[in-house]
Amino acid sequence: MDVMSSTLAPPARIGKVGVGALGMLAAATGTLESVVAPTLPLLQRELSISPAQGALLSVVMLVTGALVAPVAGIMGDRRGGKRVLIRLMAVVSAGGLVSALAPNLPVLLAGQVLQGAMVGAMPLSFILVRKHLPPGQTQVAIGVVSGLFVGGGMLGTLIAGPIAEGLSRHWMFAIPTLVIILSTLLVHVLMPDDPPAGAATRIDWPGLVLLSGVLLTLMLVLAMAADIGSQPIAVGALVVVLAALVTGWVTVERRAASPIVDLRLLAQPAIWGSYVITFAVCAGTAVSMFLVPQLFAVSGDGYGFGAGSTDIGRYLLPGTVMAAVSGPLGGIAARRFGASTAVATGIGVLSATLVAVAFVHTEVWHLVVGKALIALASGVCVTAMVIKAATSVDHGNTGTATSLVLVVRVLGFAAGAQVSGAFLTAGTPAGTDVPAESAFVIGFVIAGAVTALSLLAVRTLSKGAKE
């Protein structure tokens, strides 16, 4: 940490109080983010929407988040993390209130689009954590904030249904939104202002527009990848558009006086290595997130359990708990043993568990334990990657580096989910809707292999700057 940053930094005690407010905000946003998924059947029934419209409702916030996160991180680096965070949370709060009051699907979709801005809160929180805490405490604080966001997601999944059924669907949006408003006020009062990292510069609007186009097109390509056999022309056209957008973006960034993303940052081994590992780990984790519930529900020839939604929720709960504690654990491991060691250990556990589940899944507890280990190892890896990205760059690029990790995380989950769906579709015999057991086995094995290959990139993490 440079001398000027150390001089301007407030006392650690103030920073810790502010981090507590950031953690409360992370938990509230995680709760609001997760209330739609478990109540989708109820929303479809009450709003008279089709399954296709329900699918749109479930992903629109994800798409918005992928677009907003890098923009928020970049703006936080240049304009000050607290200043941008407060304004972003005003947008999220407005979205939550719109969703709470929505009388129909179009209004609810508008609210979800505004809520998607919440993904940008994470890189902005990391900017503030890094500026207002000593280096030795930064890793754990980032892990705590990340873990509370996941914990909030777990809470939202558990309470959304009872609130929607006991009160109304309006309150499942309104309650976490009110907590977000309170948390934002606490952050405003308790967290010291952080000055911009450098002199004010003009925003690279062409680069920003092209980057948004790249991310949106890439998500469309991933969403349609499973249909490449039936729609090769459409998928091929999207790939061409994606290549053109990437080429245009790189060209603009090279020539821009103040690029939206400094390409020299992406060329650092510790940074691109973090992105490669994050993508592989999240893709492998997404395979388990998709296949394990399917395996619980299916009742095939000699395999599967025919479990209902309530039972599946109970079976997945230990994994959700492990995901929540993995953030703080990842921060502690990164501080004590180094990010490279934490990541390598996590990848080893994750890949071994995926392969083990492929061949050992004859009892419910096999999958429960396997899913819990996968969630724990994956969370440790991703948290360590965020920490490594944050501490491998100067303070002026913290938001940029960490926001791109979060975007890569979204892309990895999207890719893993699409590949899993393709495996089950290809492995379902004609005339039946029950996939062959071999489809699950192949999916888990490939996920384990892809995750294990990311170990090749771990050695690049030691080449970044350290705090």
Q: pLDDT at position 370, please?
A: 92
pLDDT at res. 172? 86
Structural domain contains residue 210: yes
Whether residue 280 sits in one domain with residue 245 = no
Question: What pLDDT shows up at residue 13?
Answer: 47
Q: Is the model's pLDDT at 395 over the cut of 70? A: no
CA 271 – CA 260 distance, rounded (Å) = 16
Residues 97, 239, single domain; the answer is: no
pLDDT category at 465 given cuts 50, 70, 90 is very low
Report the share of the chain in percent with pLDDT over 90: 9
Residue of 328, 9, 11 whose CA lies nearest to 141? 328
Which residue range(s) make up the domain with 91? 3-190
Higher pLDDT, 250 or 373: 373
The mean of the pLDDT values for the chain is 78
State residue 10's pLDDT score: 44
- Residue 371 one-letter amino acid: K
Whether 200 maps to a domain, the answer reads: no
Residue 423 lies in a domain: yes
How far apart (Å, rounded) are the C-alpha atoms in residues 151 and 27?
6
CA dist 433 and 449 (Å) reads 28
Confidence of residue 83 (pLDDT cuts 50, 70, 90): confident
**How is residue 463 annotated by DSSP?**
G
Give 459 or 250, the one with higher predicted confidence.
250
Give the type of residue at 399.
Answer: G
**Final residue in a domain of this structure, among 166, 190, 214:** 190
Residue 14 has pLDDT above 60, yes or no: no
Query: Do 384 and 334 touch, CB atoms closer than 8 A?
Result: yes
Q: How far apart are CA 193 and CA 12, in angstroms?
A: 14
If one counts the domains in the chain, the total is 3
Q: What is the CA radius of gyration of the chain?
A: 22
Cβ atoms of residues 386 and 187 within 8 Å = no
What's the one-letter identity of residue 81? G
Considering the domain architecture, whether residues 280 and 237 belong to the same structural domain is answered as no
Among 279, 285, 281, smallest CA distance to 405 is for 279
Instruction: Say if residue 203's pLDDT is above 60.
Output: yes
Q: What was the pLDDT predicted at 221? A: 76
458 secondary structure, DSSP code: G
Matching residue, tokens 């928020």: 72
Non-local CB neighbours of 443 within 8 Å, separated by 6+ positions: 287, 291, 358, 419, 420, 423, 424
If asked whether residues 281 and 300 sit together in one domain, one would say yes
CA distance 278 to 329: 17
Question: In this predicted structure, what is the pLDDT of residue 350?
Answer: 93
Give the CATH number of the domain where residue 342 resides. 1.20.1250.20
Find the mean pLDDT for residues 2-21: 53
pLDDT band at 5 (very low <50, low <70, confident <90, very high): very low
Residue 223 clears pLDDT 70, i.e. is over it: no
pLDDT at 9 over 50: no
pLDDT at 105 exceeding the cut of 60? yes
Average pLDDT, stretch 49-70? 70
Residues 14 and 131 in one domain: yes
Check residue 53 and give its pLDDT: 64
Q: Taking Cα atoms as reference points, which of 246, 248, 224 lies closest to residue 236? A: 224
Q: Which residues neighbour 182 within 8 Å (Cβ) at sequence distance 6 or greater?
A: none
For residue 59, pLDDT beyond 80: no
Write phi, then psi, for 299 (nearest 5 degrees).
-125, 85
Confidence band for 4, pLDDT divided at 50, 70 and 90: very low
Predicted pLDDT at 201: 58
pLDDT at 282 over 90: no
Provide DSSP, 328-397.
HHHHHHHHHH-HHHHHHHHHHHHHHHHHHHHH--SSHHHHHHHHHHHHHHHHHHHHHHHHHHHHTS-GGG
Q: Are residues 233 and 178 in the same domain?
A: no
Q: Does 229 score more than 60 pLDDT?
A: yes
Burial class (CB in 10 A: 0-12, 13-18, 19+), 232: exposed
197 lies in some domain: no
Q: How confident is the model at residue 366 (pLDDT cuts 50, 70, 90)?
A: very high
Q: What percent of the chain has pLDDT over 70?
A: 84
Q: If pLDDT is split at 50, 70 and 90, which confidence band does 260 have?
A: low
Residues 217 and 164 in one domain: no
Among 181-190, 220-229, 327-336, 402-411, which is the least confidently predicted range? 220-229
State the average pLDDT over residues 173-199: 82
Query: Sign of dihedral through CA atoms 67, 68, 71, 73?
Result: negative
**Quick one: average pLDDT of 279-298?**
84
234 or 393, which is more confident: 234
What span, in angstroms and rounded, lies between the C-alpha atoms of 34 and 22?
18
Band (181; pLDDT cuts 50, 70, 90): very high
Whether 404 shows a pLDDT value over 80: the answer reads: no
Q: Give the H/E segment covering residue 122.
A: helix 121-132
Residues 330 and 442 in one domain: yes
Q: Is the distance from CB of 160 to CB of 34 less than 8 angstroms?
A: yes
Residue reference for tokens 């729609």: 231
Cα–Cα distances in angstroms (integers) from residue 208 to residues 106, 126, 397, 406, in the given order:
27, 21, 16, 17
268 within a domain of the structure (yes/no): yes
Q: For 281, list phi and psi in degrees, rounded to 5.
A: -65, -45
Q: Which of 60-64, 111-115, 141-145 has the highest average model confidence (pLDDT)?
A: 111-115
Please report, to the nearest 10 degrees, the dihedral formed by the alpha carbons of residues 314, 318, 321, 327 taken in order: -140
Query: Which stretch, 4-8, 221-225, 246-250, 399-403, has highest mean pLDDT?
Result: 246-250
pLDDT of residue 458: 81
Name the residue among 458, 407, 420, 113 with its Cα closest to residue 274.
458
Region 159-183 average pLDDT: 86
- CA-CA distances (angstroms) from residue 40 to 103, 149, 354? 15, 21, 29
Q: Which among 2, 38, 28, 150 has a CA at the least distance from the CA of 96? A: 28
Residue-level pLDDT at 54:
64
Please state the φ and ψ torsions of residue 436, each to the nearest 5 degrees.
-70, 150
Together in a domain, 309 and 343? yes
Q: How far is CA 137 from the centre of its chain?
A: 23
For residue 199, tell me if it sits in a domain: no
Please state whether the predicted TM-score (pTM) of the whole model is above 0.85: no
| Reported confidence tier of residue 396, pLDDT bands at 50, 70, 90 | low
**Residues 21, 111 within the same domain:** yes
Answer yes or no: do 244 and 129 share one domain: no
Residue 323 inside a domain? The answer is: yes
Whether residue 398 contacts residue 390, with contact meaning beta carbons closer than 8 Å, is answered with: yes
State how far the alpha carbon of 272 is from the alpha carbons of 38, 124, 276, 337, 392, in Å: 35, 20, 6, 21, 11
Secondary structure (DSSP) of 2-21: -HHHHHHPPPHHHHHHHHHH
Q: Amino acid letter at 382?
A: V
Residues shown for the chain: 467
Q: What is the mean pLDDT of residues 397-417?
A: 76
- Residues with Cβ < 8 Å from 41, sequence gap 6 or more? none
Regarding whether 138 and 285 lie in a shared domain, the answer is no
Residue 195 lies in a domain: no
299: helix, coil or strand? strand
